[in-house]
Amino acid sequence: MLTEEESRFIEYWEANRLRRRRFVKQLAIGLPFGVILVVAIFASYLSGWHKQAEVELHSEAQNPSGASIILVLVVAALLIVVFTAVFSARHKWDQYEQRYRELLAKKEQP
């Protein structure tokens, strides 16, 4: 026997499971987490607590190819945001799908 909350979840997931599986939707769901992670990384990098990172930043800034370190950081940040957004959204989708299947099995039991 299912509770009212479990029945509502089954109805919700049957209606939304295919829509939430799309890549664009997953990207939109997980994007805030990825952005927060990158902001924290940049805050840590720019705070100056890691002296070797600070030395590396200033040594590259004085070289003619100083923009290369900034470009690498921006590309890395974008990759981190996309990866964490997609990974967290897919993980959440998998958790919902597992719960859905468990509740269907529970519903079918006598």
Joined together, the tokens standing for residue 102 give 């468990």
Q: List % helix, strand, coil for the chain (3-state, nearest 5).
A: 85, 0, 15
- Average pLDDT value for residue range 74-86: 87
Report whether pLDDT(84) > 90.
no
- What confidence score (pLDDT) does residue 87 get? 86
Joined together, the tokens standing for residue 9 give 């979840």
Side-chain-side CA neighbours of residue 25 (13 Å): 10
Report whether pLDDT(102) > 60.
yes
User: Which of 23-32, 38-47, 56-65 comes out lowest in average pLDDT?
Assistant: 56-65
Report whether pLDDT(98) > 90.
yes
Contact (Cβ atoms closer than 8 angstroms) between residue 6 and residue 49? no
This prediction's pTM: 0.67
Find where tokens 């089954």 sit. 10
